[in-house]
Chains A and B, each alone.
Chain A
Amino acid sequence: MKKIIIYLLALFSVNQIAISAETGGMPQLNPEFWISQVFWLVVTFGILLIVLSKFILPNIRNNLEKRKSQIMENIEIADNQKIDSEKNIKEYDRIILDAKVAAKKTFSLAKEKIQLDLTKKKEKIESELNSEIDVVEKEINDLKKSAPEKIGLIAVDTASEIVNKLIGVEVNKSNVSAIVNEQIKLLGDK
């Protein structure tokens, strides 16, 4: 390749020097090779046009179109995937929201139940306490009521025994109880 180029350069320079002796003026206006130039222009440009338009340019066009369609296709796929992922994100959000709501509901239900249980137990305990208090109060009342009588009886027994021991006389119990009752009454009045 290098040799050919050097050879061509040498050929042209030699030719130019050889021609330099010949003519003056503009070589463009010398009609000697006009027809030859036109002929070769038509031949080379014609071949160029035919080969380019029939073989090469359609190839390039197809290639460009193929690439364009491929890119459009890829963009479409990407768009679809984007839409899908957005849908998935929405779905995910929805699920999370649902779960939150469900959790809240469960929580509040549990709370209510616990509250209910608590109040129930409270009430039960209160009622038990109340009934026990009632019983105890009743007992106390009973005791209160029966206490003077019992004290009276004990006092009568004690008094009659004391009298018996002291003076050896059997005392009529009804008399003693009358006196004791009188004394208790006096105490109660005080």
Chain B
Amino acid sequence: MAANPMYQFNVYRIGPEIKIGEIDISFTNASLFMVISTIAILFVFNLGSKKKSLIPDKIQLLSELSYSFISKMINDTAGAKAKPYFSFIFSLFMFVLFCNMFGMIPYSFTVTSHIIVTFVLAAFIFIGVTIIGFLKHGLGYLKLFVPSGVPIFLLPLIIVIEIISYLSRPVSLSVRLFANMMAGHTMMKVFGGFVVSLGIMGGWLPLGFSVALTGLEILVAFLQAYVFAILTCIYLNDALNLHH
């Protein structure tokens, strides 16, 4: 049994080493779970969108409910202008959700517990939102940093704070997801270790905790996917509607 709770996050190569020039793009366990998540999402939603009955069956209902859930979320936070970005946010939410949920299977690997993965997603969102903002409003997008109704002598300070908070968005977005997933999985591993080390006499208490933590982590897995998607919507709302 792996004693160190951090070993579950190790990335290792599956199959041969693949290199393009000097760059190593080998297929790893992380890649495997990305592929599994993607295939699972496509499988579920393909099945759910194939049948077109007026009264949906379970899988159709599932996909349609997900569709309306995310559609409503985007509409509520970013308004009607965000409709073209629906596919992206839907994919993002489903990808994060499925990666988180697959991570809950014992001995599996949690893709989203790696800062590099969440950071790439967050940075892509950050850059994309910034580009959309400048495309929609030109240099007027910079007004985002100047809140209305602030006394003039406070403006220099506020602008600096606003810029820092804007630039820290990708960091906070990526670290939130990564830290949540890592902390949860580490904690489960630690409690799992307690069960083994305390044995049949004292292991029941940490076992109970493990069960409870599993439930909590499933909740967190969903919640973090939701938070990730809704923050994306909020950033998109800033870029599209620009009222501060």
Contact = CB atoms under 8 A, between A and B. Distances in A.
Contacts, number: 153
B45 A61 contact: no
Given A20-B4, A28-B9, A56-B49, A41 B34 contact: yes
Interface string B1-15: 111101111111100
Main secondary structure of the interface of A (DSSP, over half): helix
A68 to B, nearest CB: 11
B2 A16 contact: yes
A92 interface: no
A38 B121 CA distance: 9
Interface residues of B, number: 60
Contacts of A38: 116-117, 120
Contacts of A24: 4, 6
A57 to B, nearest CB: 6
Given A52-B87, A60-B63, A29 B34 contact: no
Interface of B: 1-4, 6-13, 23-31, 34-35, 37-38, 41-42, 45-46, 48-50, 52, 54, 60, 63-64, 67-68, 86-88, 90-91, 94-95, 106-109, 111, 113-117, 120-121, 178, 182
13 contacts: A15-B29, A19-B12, A28-B9, A28-B182, A33-B13, A38-B116, A38-B120, A39-B25, A41-B111, A45-B121, A60-B45, A60-B48, A63-B64
